[in-house]
Amino acid sequence: MNGNINTVRTDGNLNTVRTASIINLLAGIWLFISPWVYRAYRDASSWNSLVVGALIVLFAAMSISNPLRARGASIVNMLLGAWTFASPWIYGYTGNHGRFVNSLCVGVIVFILGLVASSMGHTRTTPTGPPPLRA
């Protein structure tokens, strides 16, 4: 690494990534158990909540364990959040008000927190000192 470049990592950014990822982990656990809460565990569409919830938990755990490299996992969670938001229309359960609102809320939460974590879960380089002399 060039001596004139510093990597900027603030504790505030790392704490923000961890906090966003912990909330996403909890949202993923909730999405996973929600088919039983809404008595929809026998519906074929409940597999979506199980699989997507487990994936959200997995990628959130990856972000928590290494917040400096959380960007990729957080972007995946953004995509999973968007999928969760769209899933009531894709699987046709908009008539089940509880599940419908749940998917919308979890989708928005996971998407926004994934966006926050992905924007802070990486390092950036900034030049320090004068530029190198050219001969």
Is residue 133 in some structural domain?
no
Residue 36's domain comprises 7-124
Is residue 74 in some structural domain?
yes
**Burial class for 119, CB neighbours closer than 10 Å (0-12, 13-18, 19+):** middle
Q: Is the pLDDT of residue 135 over 80?
A: no
Is residue 132 in some structural domain?
no
Compute the distance between CA of residue 2 and CA of residue 127 in angstroms, rounded to an integer.
9
Say how many domains are in the chain: 1
Is residue 2 in some structural domain?
no
Is residue 119 in some structural domain?
yes
Q: What percent of the chain has pLDDT over 70?
A: 81
Q: Is the pLDDT of residue 10 over 80?
A: no
pLDDT on residue 112: 97
The residue among 70 and 54 whose pLDDT is bigger is 54
pLDDT on residue 11: 65
- 130 SS3 class: coil
In this prediction, residue 4 has a pLDDT band, given cuts at 50, 70 and 90, of very low
72-92 pLDDT per residue, tens: 999 999 999 999 999 999 999
pLDDT on residue 7: 47
Is residue 94 in some structural domain?
yes
88-132 pLDDT per residue, tens: 999 999 999 999 999 999 999 999 999 999 888 555 545 555 666
Contacts of 130 (CB under 8 A, 6+ apart): 4
- 129 SS3 class: coil
Is residue 130 in some structural domain?
no
Copy the structure tokens of residue 55: 């994936």
In this prediction, residue 42 has a pLDDT band, given cuts at 50, 70 and 90, of very high
Is residue 38 in some structural domain?
yes
